[in-house]
Amino acid sequence: MKKKVLLMGKSGSGKTSMRSIIFSNYIARDTRRLGATIEVEHASVRFLGNLVLNLWDCGGQHSFMENYFTSQRDHIFRNVEVLIYVFDVESREIDADMEYYQMCIDAIKQNSKDAKVFCLIHKMDLVHEDLRDRIFEDRVAQIQHRSSPIQTTCFRTSIWDETLYQAWSSIVYALIPNVRLLEAHLDKFCSAADADEIILFEKTTFLVISHVSKWATEDGTVSAAPLDSHRFEKISNIIKQFKISCMKAHAQFQAMEIRNGRVSVYLDMLTANTYLMMVVSDPDIQSRAALANIAAARRHFE
Ligand code: GTP
């Protein structure tokens, strides 16, 4: 099952940087060495069993962009499942950026009218913290005005923090087939294992695929005590950095067990493409029992 994902935006907005961090084990610092993308770079990423993301990283220099909208229009914009449009928040040519975006949206409406559209207001680390909300809201309003009637989802992102993982986890979540069924199975497992929370990550990218919690309410929010609402993407970011450090030391990261007071956290492979994190606060559940539960679930989720 191949899904075409278009990654577009002006040159230097950060498209190849984010692709390299999420899919090719780059760390943020390494992206300073990236050159401009010439025309379109294709990357096929196997994601969860038979779902393959076909990423089209479209170089954003003016001459390439012009071609996408003219001679290559059908080729680029046909059969698109997802359009990810990256805006450089520091750009001084906001009107010109919006014009390009509008052309992209028009081409999408014409060639792939059911495509999902995500906009990333990127390089947010360069904006003073006090101004971030206002600038983000201003850009979102402009984007929505240009996108109508297509519904867009906007994120503020930076390669220097976990916001990148939050945005990309939401994007891939929208692409996973049967995700509700997967969640129902995870939910059952969470109560059978008497766990507090279970999080499922894709193995290579460490993007969050799904999570269930024993405190979850009907509307999907968590009713429990003060939990950090960004904990999942923070974990993705931390584990990915750790995995890259292990690779540099020619070691392979396999599993992890963390104890903090009464709470134990287990991170272990679930299937060939996924890792599972299980949080257990019941002191009566011993480490061996928790790991045996994950092993038992493995057969079910394969
Ligand atoms: P083209 O290939 O020409 O279309 O450009 P691109 O959109 O792929 O840009 P690229 O990923 O090459 O990034 C350009 C520069 O922006 C690099 O030096 C990155 O290090 C930098 N960059 C990318 N993301 C961020 C970010 O979130 N914050 C900051 N401060 N810099 C970033």
Convert the pLDDT of each residue in 9-34 to its tens digit.
988 899 999 998 988 888 888 888 88
Nearest protein CA to atom 31 of ligand 1, as residue? 123
β-pair partners for 277: 199, 267
Would you state the pLDDT for residue 116? 94
pLDDT at 224: 58
pLDDT of residue 204: 85
Nearest alpha-carbon partner for 3 in 60, 58, 50: 50
| Cα separation, 28 vs 26, whole angstroms | 6
What is the b/e burial string over 101-119, where b = at least 16 CB atoms within 10 angstroms of the residue's CB?
bebbbebbeebbeebbbbb
Cα dihedral 28, 13, 173, 5 sign? negative
User: For residue 233, what pLDDT is reported?
Assistant: 86
List ligand 1's pocket residues with C-beta within 6 A.
9, 11-17, 31-32, 34, 36-37, 59-61, 122-123, 125-126, 158-160
Name the DSSP class of 15. Answer: H
